């Protein structure tokens, strides 16, 4: 039987349009509301947290830790990550993904298969990346996306990242499919935007799945509903 107080590491397949906090809040709330026959509520004050945010429009692997396992969150967040997804060429959005509407269009008639593969390779290695204005980066005590949504100017600072691999897996213009292996702190949305610039065009991230975090794999993850039912079964 799982011991959520001593600590469990849960591999969750995050649903589309859920925030990472939505997942944590659902699992924490389910645990905190458990009430056994003797009236006890052992999980009333349990700690629950996630080891690395996934954007609402991204799906895939989200690591959630409970109880004493929350102490390992920092080390888990530092693990290398793998993503698959698609980039749509010839258009950009303010958020660098499909959360916001297209604000600019670009010519893509000059973009060839060879150029796409060449551009991808220029991002491999250690580099500096600017986070999106629509991100959870804290600026003067406030999330950057909160300022961006109010139409305020957002000044973000570059951060060092490492792209281990940027593989183009399919091309069906204007959509390009990819696989990326990268370090902590990498914004795939920013990578998509920069990729468009490298092609002398524009691009935005149209879909994203996180498939691995270190040795933890999406293939071993379960739905939120699976964990909710497993938790509720403890009081039966």
Summarize pLDDT for 210-222 with one digit per residue, the tens. Answer: 999 999 999 999 9
Regarding whether 129 and 68 lie in a shared domain, the answer is: no
Regarding whether 126 and 157 lie in a shared domain, the answer is: yes
Regarding whether 195 and 116 lie in a shared domain, the answer is: yes
- Which residue range(s) make up the domain with 13? 9-77+216-235
Regarding whether 204 and 118 lie in a shared domain, the answer is: yes
Look at residue 222 and tell me if it is in a domain. Answer: yes
Instruction: Outline where 80-133 has alpha helix (H).
Output: 113-121
Regarding whether 87 and 190 lie in a shared domain, the answer is: yes
Q: What percent of the chain has pLDDT over 70?
A: 90
Look at residue 37 and tell me if it is in a domain. Answer: yes
Respond yes or no: is residue 55 known to be catalytic. yes
Residue 186: burial class (beta carbons within 10 Å; 0-12, 13-18, 19+):
buried
Regarding whether 170 and 144 lie in a shared domain, the answer is: yes
Among 13, 55, 97, 194, the active-site one is 55
Regarding whether 191 and 91 lie in a shared domain, the answer is: yes
Regarding whether 72 and 34 lie in a shared domain, the answer is: yes
Look at residue 4 and tell me if it is in a domain. Answer: no
Q: Which tens digit of pLDDT belongs to each residue from 86-141?
A: 999 999 999 999 999 999 999 999 999 999 999 999 999 999 998 877 666 666 66
Q: Which tens digit of pLDDT belongs to each residue from 51-75?
A: 999 999 999 999 999 999 999 999 9
Look at residue 151 and tell me if it is in a domain. Answer: yes
At 30 the pLDDT is 96
Look at residue 97 and tell me if it is in a domain. Answer: yes
* HSE toward the beta carbon, residue 71, CA cutoff 13 A: 6
3-state secondary structure 6-52: CCCEEEEEECCCCCHHHHHHHHHHHHHCCCCCCCCCCCCCCCEEECC
At 139 the pLDDT is 62
Look at residue 1 and tell me if it is in a domain. Answer: no
Regarding whether 95 and 21 lie in a shared domain, the answer is: no
Domain count, the chain: 2
Regarding whether 23 and 50 lie in a shared domain, the answer is: yes
Does the pTM of the predicted model rise above 0.95?
Answer: no
**CA–CA distance, 204 with 188 (Å, rounded to integer):** 10
Regarding whether 164 and 148 lie in a shared domain, the answer is: yes
- The CATH number of whichever domain residue 113 belongs to comes to 3.30.2350.10
């Amino acid at each position: 039987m799982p011991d959520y107080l001593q600590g469990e590491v849960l591999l969750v397949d995050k649903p589309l349009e859920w925030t990472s906090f939505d997942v944590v809040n659902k699992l924490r709330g389910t645990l905190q509301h458990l009430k056994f026959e003797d009236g006890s509520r052992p999980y009333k004050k349990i700690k629950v947290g996630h080891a690395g945010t996934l954007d609402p429009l991204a799906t895939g692997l989200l690591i959630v830790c409970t109880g004493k396992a929350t102490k390992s969150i920092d080390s888990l967040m530092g693990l290398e990550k793998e993503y698959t997804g698609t980039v749509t060429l010839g258009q950009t959005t303010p958020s660098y993904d499909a959360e916001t509407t297209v604000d600019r269009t670009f010519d893509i008639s000059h973009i060839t298969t060879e150029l796409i593969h060449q551009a991808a390779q220029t991002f491999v290695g250690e580099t500096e990346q600017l986070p999106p204005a629509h991100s959870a980066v804290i600026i003067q005590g406030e999330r950057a996306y909160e300022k961006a949504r109010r139409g305020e100017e957002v000044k973000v600072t570059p951060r060092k990242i490492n792209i281990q691999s940027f593989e183009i897996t399919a091309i069906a213009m204007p959509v390009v499919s990819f696989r990326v292996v990268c370090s902590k702190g990498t914004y795939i949305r920013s990578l998509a935007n920069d990729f468009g610039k490298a092609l002398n065009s524009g691009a935005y991230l149209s879909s994203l799945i996180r498939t691995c975090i270190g040795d933890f794999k999406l293939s071993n993850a379960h739905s939120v509903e699976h964990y909710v039912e497993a938790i509720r079964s403890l009081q039966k």
